[in-house]
Structure 1
Amino acid sequence: MPEIHRNAAALLALAASALLLQACSDSPEPAQAPASAVEIETGGDDAHARHALEPQGLPRSTAPADARVFFIEPADGASVTSPVTLEFGLEGMDVVPAGTNKPDSGHHHLLINVTDLPPMDFPLPATEQVIHYGGGQTEATLELAPGEYRLQLVLGDHLHIPHDPPVMSDAITITVE
């Protein structure tokens, strides 16, 4: 294996481990992603190095064809006040904490105002727009500023990687008054 690929694989594994540890904390606050492997390896945003370090994806857990994740509350189109309480539903699979490698199971990830889905063959990033509920939570309370929000749920496996096929809710829109 060429040296750059060995280094890239090690750095990506380190970054994924850091994200997993942050996302699995008991805090519902979004975790901040560490510097990317490209920034660590090259010291900046070098397009050639970035392309050379792009991995080919990771193995994905399978999901039953009839599995579905959805919002119990709030309803699509609802007007709410902050703090907003969200209830997550799941059918055809079990909710388990991150790190629990059990067939037909996973944990929730909330996407806020995300219109371009992240890659489905990598761990979901932990950002202000992608909140991990690695403790196996099925409910969350968020402080949201007034405005319109697009919300979507994605179930992740023990490593925060979406299943194959992905188990995602329909996006809903809520208005915080």
Structure 2
Amino acid sequence: MKIVCCLALSALLALSSSAAYSQAKPAPKDAKVYFITPRDGQKIRSGFWVRFGLRNMGVTHAGDDYQNSGHHHLLIDVKDPVDPKEPIPQDKSHLHFGAGQTETFLELAPGTHTLQLVLGDAKHYPFEPPVVSEKISIRVRQPAAAGR
């Protein structure tokens, strides 16, 4: 009985560990995600549009499992790369665009911020190889004073 339980547990552990690695969907090697706006180094007032570009893949909704397509995630001031074995987090620094959006209006505090795009699959996992933009840096200026 102990041997059967041990074998069953071993099989379960083997399957669950391989499941963690099987999430990565293949992406074309020439796929590219990038910022249309803003540009790296741009000085900008808060309340600005961020427009996403994608080449050699398609944009779809989260949950739609079409080959060579995914949806955008915008990382704001994130220092560490996303873990390819985990879904992309969803919080104030990891914005999900699961309805297939290709732009967003952002309001950020004055100061220097970094932005990066990551394309996620139907379940929010990064592709393999990851489809990730260059990290850009922008400087958000103080809002204009009223009456000027």
TM over 0.5: yes
Q: Structure 1 length as normaliser, TM-score?
A: 0.68
* Residue 65 of structure 2 is aligned to residue 67 of structure 1: no
Report deviation, 1:59.
Answer: 2.0
- Structure 2 residue aligned with 1:14: none
Letter in 1 for 2:41: G
Unaligned runs of 5+ in 2: 1-7, 142-148
Rounded Cα–Cα distance in structure 1 between residues aligned with 2:26 and 2:110: 38
Say which SS state the counterpart of residue 72 (structure 1) adopts: strand
Report deviation, 1:142.
Answer: 1.1
Letter in 2 for 1:155: L
Taking the TM superposition and a 5 Å limit, the aligned residue runs for 1:90-101 are: 90-101=54-65
Rounded Cα–Cα distance in structure 2 between residues aligned with 1:91 and 1:123: 22
* Residue 126 of structure 2 is aligned to residue 157 of structure 1: no
- Structure 1 residue aligned with 2:53: 89
Taking the TM superposition and a 5 Å limit, the aligned residue runs for 1:1-177 are: 2=9, 56-177=20-141
Report deviation, 1:140.
Answer: 0.2
1:57 and 1:122 in contact (8 A); partners too: no
Rounded Cα–Cα distance in structure 2 between residues aligned with 1:56 and 1:159: 13
Say which SS state the counterpart of residue 131 (structure 1) adopts: strand
- Structure 2 residue aligned with 1:40: none
Report deviation, 1:56.
Answer: 4.1
Report deviation, 1:143.
Answer: 1.2
Rounded Cα–Cα distance in structure 1 between residues aligned with 2:29 and 2:47: 35
- Structure 2 residue aligned with 1:52: none
Identity %: 45
Rounded Cα–Cα distance in structure 1 between residues aligned with 2:101 and 2:49: 12
Report deviation, 1:57.
Answer: 3.7
| Cα pair distance change 1:128/1:58, threshold 3 Å | farther
* Bigger fraction of residues in strand: 2
Report deviation, 1:82.
Answer: 1.2
* Bigger fraction of residues in helix: 1
